[in-house]
């Protein structure tokens, strides 16, 4: 009979509803057959049993890890959680499957400890924002709900990685690759703009790229309604990421408009083609000042293969004056389409680029321009601090909620810290009593089985 410690997994597996007793028995039988003649014959640990159930695709690695700690709550409403994706600005994000439709999705959770009226209001705003949008280059919102005290948003699950991780892993993109990704993102943003929505936080980490090269803009939770004005609780605050903020967002958040997203998308294109943010290093406030007053290094300094025509598009997207900027995301997509489709670009009359030709690189200057995206992508602004020296840590790395990175699930238990469990859900008293009764029944049946097997063994010998 398994010891009390080794029965933790079995009890959690049965209580979760994901594993039947017959499946546990089959896994144990298979392990005993595999162990015949070995020193471990007859001993089946929870760890080995969990691994066998993962190997046979009864449960996922994430589910097994949670059950090994005794956790059995692995669903949110009708959504069965299969893996942890990451931590986003609003909360944790899990991969899940609808228990009837079988559709994979991403479930974003508002943390219980942040469930203040204002947080719930903002979360509801995000749900309503995403529900308005349906475009192939935007992450779609499917559903929203509440499980006990937990509020959650269900969105399309996008396999692949985000643009920031892609660049940090593989280096800068070619003109064709960068044009394709940003063109698609621009089309998605144009659809949002037509619905009177501004993203406000366009950046590489919020552009997902599938293995097939499809780009989707994610994390519209910070989007603001163009026409809501002071009704938006974020009105008057600088919402966004320091490396990609438009000058007007910094000067006066009330002036944010569609072209603010165009500027941020231009900064994102700069990063995609060079591997550098426009103004690396320094504090968030110093970056803000540079967005207002300085010109970035010429992109050819970091990627000599870029054409001047391509540089001109980036420059037009990053004009300091909103009136001089490319006016719509649709026009951005149209300007980039020749490169994205690998059609030869007809040289258009060029205005003078705001970037001077790049000087010959020197080791010291290039070193000073290196940037660690993990140190800066998580910085957020508050207009009340815009003129003060920043006291924020730059060592915080944003999670992968927006990235939704996928990976091959290992069949062995993960090394290092376990992914977080689902937040605790306060169950009704009757449901808690029912779970207690079920656990007692399982324990009693296990004990009875041990007694019966003892009688049988004594009769045999």
User: Tell me: the pLDDT tens digits for 100-135?
Assistant: 999 999 998 877 666 778 777 877 777 787 788 899
Average pLDDT of 429-447?
A: 51
- pLDDT tens, 312-333? 999 999 999 999 999 999 999 9
Query: Which strand (E) or helix (H) includes residue 107?
Result: strand 104-110
The three-state secondary structure class of 266 is helix
Nearest to 253 by CA among 225, 234, 266: 234
φ, ψ (nearest 5 deg) of residue 98: -70, 130
Confidence of residue 353 (pLDDT cuts 50, 70, 90): low
Residue 217 tokens, joined: 């803009």
From residue 22, how far is each of 13, 337, 416 by CA, in Å? 12, 57, 32
The 3-class secondary structure across 163-184, one letter per residue, is HHHHHHHHCCCCHHHHHHHHHH
Is the pLDDT at 347 greater than 90? The verdict is: no
pLDDT > 70? residue 52: yes
User: What are the percentages of helix, strand and coil residues in the chain, rounded to 5?
Assistant: 45, 10, 45
The predicted structure's pLDDT at residue 117: 81
Q: Which residues contact 372 (CB under 8 A, 6 or more apart)?
A: none
Average pLDDT over residues 250-275: 95
Distance CA 221, CA 255 (A): 19
Give the residue carrying structure tokens 């994610």.
218
What does the mean pLDDT of the chain come to?
A: 77
CA 384 to the chain's CA centroid = 28
| pLDDT, position 339 | 96
Q: Structural domains in the chain? A: 1-72 (no CATH), 76-156 (3.30.200.20), 162-356+363-385 (1.10.510.10)
**pLDDT computed for residue 253 by the predictor:** 83
**52 phi and psi, to 5 degrees?**
-65, -40
pLDDT score for 232? 53
At residue 423, the pLDDT reads 72
- Least confident window among 12-26, 62-76, 251-265, 419-433: 419-433
Could you tell me if 96 and 107 are in contact, meaning their C-beta atoms sit under 8 angstroms apart? yes
Average pLDDT estimate for 80-86: 94
pLDDT digits (tens, 9 = 90+) for 266-285: 999 999 999 999 999 889 99
Q: Determine what percent of the chain is predicted with pLDDT higher than 90.
A: 51
Question: Does the pLDDT of residue 18 top 60, yes or no?
Answer: yes
Give Cβ neighbours of residue 319 (< 8 Å, ≥ 6 apart): 263, 325, 326, 354
For residue 136, the number of C-alpha atoms closer than 13 Å in the C-beta half-sphere is 6
Q: Give how far Cα 369 sits from Cα of 171, 172, 265, 266, Å.
A: 15, 15, 20, 19
**Which one is catalytic: 46, 65, 162, 201?**
201
Q: Partners of 97 in the beta sheet?
A: 80, 104
Report the pLDDT value the prediction gives residue 110, as an integer from 0 to 100.
79
Residue 257: closest CA among 327, 205, 358, 349: 327
Q: Which two tokens stand for residue 161?
A: 């990685």
* Residue 339: half-sphere exposure toward Cβ, Cα within 13 Å: 25
Q: Which residues pair with 87 in a beta bridge?
A: 92
Residue 457 pLDDT: 34
How sure is the predictor about 88, in pLDDT bands with cuts at 50, 70 and 90? low
How far, in Å, CA of 287 to CA of 189, rounded?
A: 24
Identify the residue with better confidence: 383 or 126. 126
**Cα 271 → chain centroid:** 19
**How far is Cα 182 from Cα 189, in angstroms, rounded to an integer?**
10
* Average pLDDT rounded to a whole number, residues 286-307: 95
Residue 164, both tokens: 């920031």
pLDDT greater than 50 at residue 287: yes
Query: Mean of the pLDDT values across residues 384-399?
Result: 29
Active site residue 201: yes
Q: What is the dihedral of CA 65, 68, 70, 74, to 10 degrees?
A: 30
Lowest mean pLDDT among 100-104, 148-152, 159-163, 258-262: 148-152
How wide is the angle at C-alpha 181 spanned by C-alphas 199 and 348, nearest 5°?
100
pLDDT reading at 351 higher than 70: no
């Amino acid at each position: 009979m398994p010891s009390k410690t080794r029965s933790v997994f079995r009890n959690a597996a049965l209580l979760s509803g994901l594993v039947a007793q017959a499946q546990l028995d089959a896994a144990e039988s298979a392990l005993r057959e595999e162990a015949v003649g070995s020193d471990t014959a007859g001993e089946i640990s929870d760890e080995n049993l969990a691994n066998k159930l993962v190997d046979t695709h009864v449960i996922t690695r994430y589910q097994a890890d949670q059950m090994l700690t005794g956790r059995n709550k692995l669903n949110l409403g009708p959504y069965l959680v299969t893996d942890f994706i990451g931590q986003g600005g609003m909360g944790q994000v899990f991969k899940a499957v609808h228990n009837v439709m079988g559709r994979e999705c991403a479930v974003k959770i508002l943390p219980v400890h942040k469930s203040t009226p204002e947080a719930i209001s903002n979360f509801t705003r995000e749900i309503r924002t995403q529900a308005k949008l349906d475009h192939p280059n935007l992450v779609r919102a499917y559903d929203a709900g509440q499980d006990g005290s937990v509020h959650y948003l269900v969105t399309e699950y996008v396999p692949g990685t985000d643009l920031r991780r892609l660049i940090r892993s593989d280096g800068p993109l070619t003109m064709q690759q960068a044009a394709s990704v940003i063109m698609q993102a621009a089309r998605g943003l144009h659809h949002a703009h037509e619905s009177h929505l501004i993203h406000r936080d366009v950046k590489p980490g919020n552009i997902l790229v599938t293995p097939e090269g499809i780009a989707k803009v994610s994390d519209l939770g910070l989007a603001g309604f163009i026409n809501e004005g002071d009704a938006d609780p974020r009105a008057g605050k600088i919402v966004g990421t320091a490396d990609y903020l438009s000058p007007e967002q910094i000067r006066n958040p009330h002036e944010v408009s569609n072209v603010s997203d165009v500027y941020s998308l231009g900064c994102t294109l700069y990063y995609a083609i060079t591997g550098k943010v426009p103004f690396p290093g320094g504090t968030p406030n110093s970056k803000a000042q540079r967005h207002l007053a300085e010109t970035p290094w010429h992109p050819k300094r970091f990627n000599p293969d870029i054409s001047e025509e391509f540089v001109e598009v980036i420059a037009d997207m990053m004009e300091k004056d909103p009136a001089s900027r490319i006016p719509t995301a649709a026009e951005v997509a149209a300007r980039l389409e020749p490169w994205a489709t690998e059609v030869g670009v007809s040289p258009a009359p060029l205005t003078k680029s705001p970037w001077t030709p790049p000087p010959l690189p020197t080791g010291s200057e290039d070193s000073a321009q290196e940037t660690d995206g993990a140190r800066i992508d998580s910085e957020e602004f508050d207009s009340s601090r815009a003129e003060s020296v920043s006291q924020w840590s730059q060592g915080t790395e944003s999670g992968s909620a927006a990235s939704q990175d996928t990976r091959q699930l290992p069949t062995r238990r993960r090394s290092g810290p376990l992914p977080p469990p689902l937040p605790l859900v306060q169950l009704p008293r009757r449901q808690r009593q029912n779970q207690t009764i079920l656990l007692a029944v399982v324990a009693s049946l296990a004990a009875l089985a041990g007694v019966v097997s003892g009688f049988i063994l004594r009769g045999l010998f």
